[in-house]
Structure 1
Amino acid sequence: MNTFIILLIIAAAIATVVMLVRGIVAFLRTTEEELKSGNVGPSASSLKQNKAMFARIGFQAVAVLLVALLMLMNGGSQ
């Protein structure tokens, strides 16, 4: 059971890093033209950045919860 949880933690950590990189790439692709345009509301790249960062937060939360679960399960054994 511990091995399965550790694999889930690794998967959640990898997903966190992937979404972080995707969010940074979306941020870097924001063009100067988009920044200077007078459009009201978020641009397409801003929405993409937000989605990637919210997904990162979700994966990060899952990883932290899994680590806490693993620590609770192994709390009595050393």
Structure 2
Amino acid sequence: MSTFLAILLIAAMIAVVVVFIRGLVIFMMNASAEAKGGTSGPSAAALKSNKMMQYRIFFQAVAIVIVVLILMLAGRG
């Protein structure tokens, strides 16, 4: 069970990094496009960047829950 949780934790941490980098890339592309000519309201890229950061927070929460489960199991054994 502990090995399974460790694998899940690694997968969650990789997901956090991938989503974070993807969100940053989208943010940078959006920032350069807005610098060239502003638009009224949020652009599609800005909304996508925001969604990526929301996914990052979700995956971080999942990773924290897995760490808590691992610590609880380690404390019992």
Backbone CA RMSD of aligned residues:
1.4
The answer to whether structure 1 residue 11 and structure 2 residue 2 are counterparts is no
Residues 28-76 of structure 1, C-alpha deviation per residue, up to 9 Å, x if partnerless?
A: 101544344241x211111011010000000000001000010001113
**TM, length-normalised to structure 1:** 0.88
Alignment of 1:1-78 (within 5 A): 1-35=1-35, 36-39=37-40, 41-77=41-77
List runs of 5+ in structure 2 lacking aligned partners: none
**5+ residue gaps, structure 1:** none
Residues 43-52 or 27-36, more deviating: 27-36
- Whole-Å separation in 2 of the counterparts to 1:30 and 1:23: 10
Per the normalisation by structure 2, the TM-score is 0.89
Q: Distance in 2 between matches of 1:33 and 1:26?
A: 11
Same amino acid, percent of matched pairs: 46
Structure with the largest fraction of helix: 2
Q: How many residues are paired up?
A: 76
